[in-house]
Chains A and B, each alone.
Chain A
Amino acid sequence: MTKRKMFLRMITASLVRRRSRMLVALLAIAVGATILSGLVTIYYDVPRQMGAQFRNYGANMIFLAASNEARFDLDTVRRGVACIDAEELVGVAPYRYETVRIHEQPILAAGTDLDGAKATSPYWHIDGEWPSARYEVLVGQETAEFLGLKTGDVFNATWSSGEEEEDVLNLGVDMKVAGILETGGSEEEYLYMSLSDMEELAGETEKLDVVELSVSASADELKAYEQDIEANVPDIAPRLVKRVTESESTVLTKLQSLVFLVTAVVLVLTMICVATTMTAVVTERRKEIGLRKSLGASDGSIIWEFMGEGLLLGGVGGILGSILGFAFAQFVSVHVFSSSITYQPALLPVTILVSVLVTGLACLLPVRSATEVDPALVLKGE
């Protein structure tokens, strides 16, 4: 048998046959590693999770025409959208605004890609249904009250290109209220319909007024997209919705700082707990240390044997912590963000390594004191 095998046999026997004693230390390391692994998993997944949450608050980027002469149509918008990673693109809603006369009142109408609007504005609350058939519209709550409309009503609308009688394009078109839009914002003043209906009724035109985009990306990534689009599609003036992107960035930074702080505190507490346990272990085993010294063990041997036990504990605790940490992160993610978390395989070796290092550091002082044991005194029971 080699010395290494005997070394492993001794430290394994110490941990396995004295498991009730070492359980406290193992528990402390495993709990520390669980929280470390769990929080780091959350730390890395929070931007994705929070990004998804923030997407509920509407578009975080808009496209405007770079100038009055710029070509700002669906084809140009597609070229701008192509600059954004498709996986990060949550929705694109192009808007064209026209005035329509209903009950002789001028009302602002917005033509859009309704599926895109649904994706970019998930916070919209519809009393009724989204328009699904030709000439079906969503009416903003305020406008609906003003015109006395409710879901299912059919109303008469007149579309014209100007103020004069000869400007009338479509007189007395019957349109159906599919739903009433409630947002608590300025959207309630509008009437929403499909872009194709608007083009049919208000006249074919290539020109869009604004495009809203919802992109699941960090503030820095959005900034990079903005610059990329400006450089590659000169007809588009991309703008970030700072109200959303800056809030997102601030919340993320604070949340990540909190997670970092909690992780650091947990590591320190783990270290204290392991150090206390190892000090108790060393005190309890003074006779054994004295015996080993009387048999000719050098200080180095004693240090390595106790460190070996500590590091093995750290390794086992790290493995346990990695597994439990993922379960912990999954639990938090499901209950806080309502979505599952992505497993980070790289976290397994990192957690084990950190556990071993923390345990090693915690063992240093107690183990050092083990070498100060005087064999003659302890073997005599003094």
Chain B
Amino acid sequence: MSLLELNNISKIYGDLKALDNVSLSVDTGEWVAIMGPSGSGKSTMMNIIGCMDKPTSGAVLLDGKDISKESAKSLTAIRRDKIGLIFQQFHLVNYLTAVENVMVAQYYHSMPDEKEALEALERVGLADRAKHLPSQLSGGEQQRVCIARALINYPEIVLADEPTGNLDEANENIVLDIFKQLHKDGTTLVVVTHDPEVGEVAQRTITLEHGRIVKDALNANFKEA
């Protein structure tokens, strides 16, 4: 069943077509990598799927509901309730500890629960770093806090924008292992990346060029965790 559908969406900035009549669908539990060079429209697509931007034309259906015409306030609510975001630059609040950063997402979603936030950190292997500030964590650890934060409210879809872009190989593997586990647990994952290694481990790869999908294929080498 399709969790996410993009139907003929375009995004135009002045004379520039960032996305040109793109259509795709993502099923529940699917792990999709969106790849492409810089300027191909990956980030625009990520922003539209993540409810941080609206298409100029076309429809975006999340869980069967067209969100392309929703108000900014409704999009905020959808982001809060249905989407988990993972960023390349982690974007942790620098004066809050790891566990407090996770609790911030709970705070906006429903009710902060420190025990649950600690369990989320434990799942990404950071139980012993819960009380540390972001400045006291390595890049890989910060990304894992970011992942714990994205997952804490059990989102319907997790969007990751270049999640390994700022990590060394060891930490990249840790993050990809977490993604594999998430996929195994049934989480829907959309990962935007230009790193072929990250794209290869996904179940399906969509390649964008000049705002259009030029390739949409299942990975033959994909292995379930």
Contact = CB atoms under 8 A, between A and B. Distances in A.
Given A3-B111, A6-B112, A376-B47, A295 B96 contact: no
A9 B106 CA distance: 14
B91 A6 contact: no
Interface stretch (B78-86, B169-177, B208-216): B78-86
A1 B114 contact: yes
B52 A376 contact: yes
Interface residues of B, number: 33
Nearest to B82: A296
Contact of B91 (A13, A301, A379): A379
Given A1-B114, A3-B112, A287 B91 contact: yes
Chain B contact residues, majority secondary structure? helix
A350 B85 CA distance: 46
B71 to A, nearest CB: 12
A379 B108 contact: no
Nearest to A300: B73
Given A9-B100, A298-B73, A14 B95 contact: yes
Contacts of B149: 295
Given A291-B93, A376-B52, A296 B108 contact: yes
A195 B76 CA distance: 92
B103 interface: yes
B107 interface: yes
A295 B79 contact: yes
B122 interface: no
B119 interface: no
Contacts of B52: 294, 374-376, 379
Interface in B82-129: 85, 87, 89, 91, 93-96, 100, 103-109, 111-114
Contact of A1 (B77, B80, B112): B112
Given A1-B113, A3-B111, A296-B109, A13 B79 contact: no
A296 B133 contact: no
A2 B80 CA distance: 18
Quick one: which of B43, B50, B107, B111 has the most chain A CB within 10 A?
B107
A199 B81 CA distance: 101
B89 A293 contact: no
A376 B80 CA distance: 15
B113 A301 contact: no
Contact of B104 (A10, A298, A374, A381): A10
B115 to A, nearest CB: 9
Interface in A1-34: 1-3, 5-7, 9-10, 13-14, 17-18
Given A6-B103, A296-B80, A380 B111 contact: no
A173 interface: no
Contact of A292 (B53, B81, B95, B104): B104
22 contacts: A2-B112, A5-B112, A6-B107, A6-B112, A9-B100, A10-B100, A10-B104, A10-B107, A13-B96, A17-B95, A290-B91, A292-B104, A292-B108, A294-B79, A295-B149, A296-B76, A297-B80, A298-B76, A376-B52, A379-B89, A380-B43, A381-B89
Given A18-B95, A295-B85, A374-B52, 15 more contacts: A6-B106, A6-B112, A13-B95, A13-B100, A293-B76, A295-B104, A295-B105, A296-B79, A297-B108, A298-B73, A376-B52, A376-B53, A379-B52, A379-B91, A380-B43
